[in-house]
Amino acid sequence: MKKKRILTGIITVIIAAGLLLSGCAGSKEATKTSAGKEPYKIGAVIDISGSSSSLGVPEKNTLQMLADKVNAAGGINGHPLVLTILDNKSDETEAVLAVKKLIDQEKVLAVLGCSASGTSMSMIDTVQKEKVPMISLAASSKIVEPVQERQWVFKTAQSDIVTINKLMSYLKEKGLTNVAFLYMNNAYGDGGRIAFTAAAQAGGVEIVAEEKFEATDKDMTPQLTRVKTSGAQAAVVWAIPPSASIITRNFKDLNMGIPLLHSHGVGNQNFIDLAQGAADGVILPIGKLIVADQIPDSDPQKKVLNTYIEEYSKKYNSPPNSFGGYAWDGFYLLVNALEKAGADRAAIRDVLEKTQGFSGVSGVFNMSASDHNGLNEDSMVMVQIENGKWKLLK
């Protein structure tokens, strides 16, 4: 009898744990309009929990907000939009399972996601095989290259190479030719390392120290002491919070005395808050959203940026960030394609590939058969953090 009771106890605990986890695993946004037309089903696989959640949460918020907005306005050509958002828990395996579920069970027309490069890469095989258009929200250029093996894959975040070219021109302008490169040991950091190494060789910048750290590391002092002995004139860090915040604090504690440059991966307020004052002075290339109030009115993105900021702030009581912006771009690229192509996956893909002059949050997109990102260096600006605020450089 006792054994049985214990067994029941264990099972209860396991079921309770399962319920707790699944409770936050996914949410369905299925607002149907009264129009009788067949709904357009689209899916999103986002890193809502886990190590990339600082990217995924604003993306999920943005997608939900926009889906509501489109449906409130009568849907797409009268077709209601059904958006299913799944959480991949920042895990590659979960991402593959989620995208299979969206394609097999939900029969979605296209997929948005994931938030991070690693999780995005993991879905490519599936969407290529099933011939489903996918728009990734992550940075690594490997997601859309080589294009002949990525016919169905697009992405909205500026590719590493765009960011790095921007960064490289800044370094050369300031005469910083000996630099240290530190990166987090995952697909994002590695993508940055490969692109940075190539760009440095081409641009005459020497990498005098190259260090990596784990996303879960709590102290990067060892890596930074190696940078300190290397004689670098500047340090470039390729990481996202919280590890990006921790390394920034270590950098200040160690009194490094050289400029600290980050990637666009730290483009949210969370990074500044967690660095607790250590972020002041950090320089990074980033999309224009974060300094929307400082860019000239003549900029083609100004109107889009202001509308997005206004709507997001109103709904979620906090300003949006560039990650939410990647979701905004992905969503409207897809909505535009659905408007023109209707419920046909191949036609959606073709329209996406022909996107020209689309002013989004991350930049002006000009896609082509050889470029499935469509952004160039003009989509980025250099900013510096001053007193906990983003400031446009020159």
Task: Report the nearest approach of other proteins to the CB of residue 179 (Å).
Answer: 17
Task: Report the nearest approach of other proteins to the CB of residue 256 (Å).
Answer: 10
Instruction: Count residues near other proteins (CB under 8 A).
Output: 49
Interface residues for other proteins in 110-129 (CB under 8 A)? none
- 230 burial via Cβ count (<10 Å: 0-12, 13-18, 19+): middle
16, 72, 198, 369: residue in contact with other proteins (rule CB under 8 A): 16
Q: How many CA atoms lie within 13 A of 23 on its CB side?
A: 7
* Separation CA 342–CA 37 (nearest Å): 12
**CB neighbour burial string for 339-375, b if at least 16 within 10 angstroms, e if fewer:** eebbeebebbbebbbebeebbbbbbbbebeeebbbbb
Nearest to 135 by CA among 289, 303, 365, 298: 365
165 neighbors 200 (Cβ within 8 angstroms)? no
Q: Which is nearer to other proteins, 216 or 370 (CB)?
A: 216
Options 14-22, 123-131, 312-320, 383-391: segment touching other proteins (CB under 8 A) = 14-22
Tell me if 211 contacts other proteins by CB under 8 A.
Answer: yes
Tell me if 178 contacts other proteins by CB under 8 A.
Answer: no
Nearest to 220 by CA among 254, 260, 195: 254
Cα-flanking dihedrals φ and ψ of residue 152, to 5°? -100, 0
Rg (CA), the chain: 22
Tell me if 10 contacts other proteins by CB under 8 A.
Answer: yes
38, 104, 206, 214: residue in contact with other proteins (rule CB under 8 A): 214
Binding mask 263-302 for other proteins (x = CB under 8 A): -------x--xx-x--------------------------
Options 17-25, 106-114, 347-355, 376-384: segment touching other proteins (CB under 8 A) = 17-25
* Separation CA 45–CA 93 (nearest Å): 12
24, 198, 202, 369: residue in contact with other proteins (rule CB under 8 A): 24
Cα torsion 264, 266, 268, 272 to 10°: value is -140
Which residues contact other proteins by CB under 8 A? 2-3, 5-6, 9-10, 13-14, 16-17, 20-21, 23-24, 48-51, 53-54, 56-57, 185, 211-214, 216-219, 221-223, 225-226, 228-229, 241-242, 245-246, 253-255, 270, 273-274, 276
